[in-house]
Amino acid sequence: MVDIAHRAAINGASASDATAPRARNLSDAAPLVPLASVDLGQWQALGAQAIEPNGYYLPPWALAASATARGRTGAMALCAVDASTQLIGLMPVVSLWRAWKIPLPALVSAHPYGTLCSPLLDRDTASSAAARLLDQARDAGAHALILRDVALEGAAMKSLTATLTSGALKPRVLGSYIRASLDATQDGEVLLREAVGAKKLKELRRQRHRLEEHGPIAFDVARAPNEVKTALETFLQLEASGWKGKRGTALIQHAGDATFIRRAVPALAEAGQCELISLRTGPTPVAAGIVLRHLDRAFFFKLGIDERFAKYSPGVQLTLELTRHLCADPAIASADSTASADHPMINPIWRGRFAIGDVLIPLRRNDPTVTLIHAALVARNAALDTARQAVRLLRR
């Protein structure tokens, strides 16, 4: 059996690979290849044909994350190709050892800095793509695949589940939560009145009028790469000025993360797949956010605010404007908040819901190694829960 517990760490793509992908003849590719070696043109074509949108697995974002982002470098890829060697499926992965220091033969979906890891499958050949990805994982020596943060009822997961069922295999959900989303096909004003309520909207309008005392309010959307670069720096400063900066988790506070976001955002903007939104009072930015776009879906990646204006709810005010903006855009049908469960800011505004979870996919029937992998993951999750409870107690 091929030892994949350490292979991803040994053969991981370098930063130079990730910024300058090399073309590869996919028909001759090994079952597990450096993410940076996937043919860029074919990857882009697959993204345009994907059965389920995932802005975080588009090439500029995923390659930049794999190149320099903290804890996310050196991702590998499972690639599915058809008879004409056209790429029809892509799943960025790392070994179970790289992901969680568990020395068992499994592959884990690579985390691209956004909380969504649904693989890219060609919409016309999704069943074949799913089957081929599973075959590639077996050929790489894996006994299981662990999908992190996958949309449980999404088209990609349904295709994988159908393929597993045909082979008398069944996925196991390791954990899940419900996430907020936006139905952008509705009228924005009607949606906000129904979601937030007249009384709360009146209070938010009062806060907005108070904010306006500091200068005229403007909602800006930066799309052109040069505008995006400037707006990104504003966002990074706002994010670092708040609680994320105090905890040391702001993007700009780590060189690798800062390099990643400064590469990924302008590159996606060049393809019309990213925009920076901001709210200003006079010349002063009070809130800013990053929004990815893939097919008919938007992804609200991150939000930064100037906490000096916190009493005016600048993050909420920006999200209200974003809601109107997305609902007015005929190209966008839905938006993923990419937020945690029960998020106090976004949940009351975006009332759509969908399930996100981690899924264990066995690759062989009646495999005792999968039982070991499952037990190790359950033990790890229990230990993490205990640690979180201890931290909560210490913070009281």
Each residue's pLDDT tens digit, 198-224: 999 999 999 999 999 999 999 999 999
Neighbours of 234 (CB within 10 A): 17
pLDDT at position 141 over 60: yes
- CA–CA separation, 33 and 24 (whole Å): 10
pLDDT tens sequence across 5-44: 444 333 333 333 333 333 444 445 589 999 999 999 999 9
Where b means 16+ CB within 10 Å and e means fewer, 129-166 reads: bbbbbbebbeebbbbbbbbbbbbbebbbbbbbbebbee
H helix intervals, the chain? 7-10, 15-19, 40-48, 59-68, 96-100, 126-139, 155-166, 188-196, 198-212, 225-241, 243-247, 255-270, 314-327, 368-395
What is the average pLDDT value for the chain, to the nearest integer?
92
Could you give the percent of the chain with pLDDT greater than 70?
A: 92
- CA–CA separation, 353 and 344 (whole Å): 14
The one-letter amino acid at 244: K
Domains, the chain: 7-177+355-395 (3.40.630.30), 185-332 (3.40.630)
The one-letter amino acid at 261: I
Q: Global pTM?
A: 0.91
Tokens standing for 50?
């994907």
Question: Do 286 and 279 meet the contact criterion of CB atoms below 8 Å apart?
Answer: yes
Neighbours of 283 (CB within 10 A): 8
Please list, in sequence order, all residues whose beta carbon lies within 8 angstroms of the beta carbon of residue 370, skipping any fewer than 6 positions away: 143, 144, 360, 362, 363, 364
Mean pLDDT in residue range 145-166: 98
Question: Do 236 and 261 meet the contact criterion of CB atoms below 8 Å apart?
Answer: yes
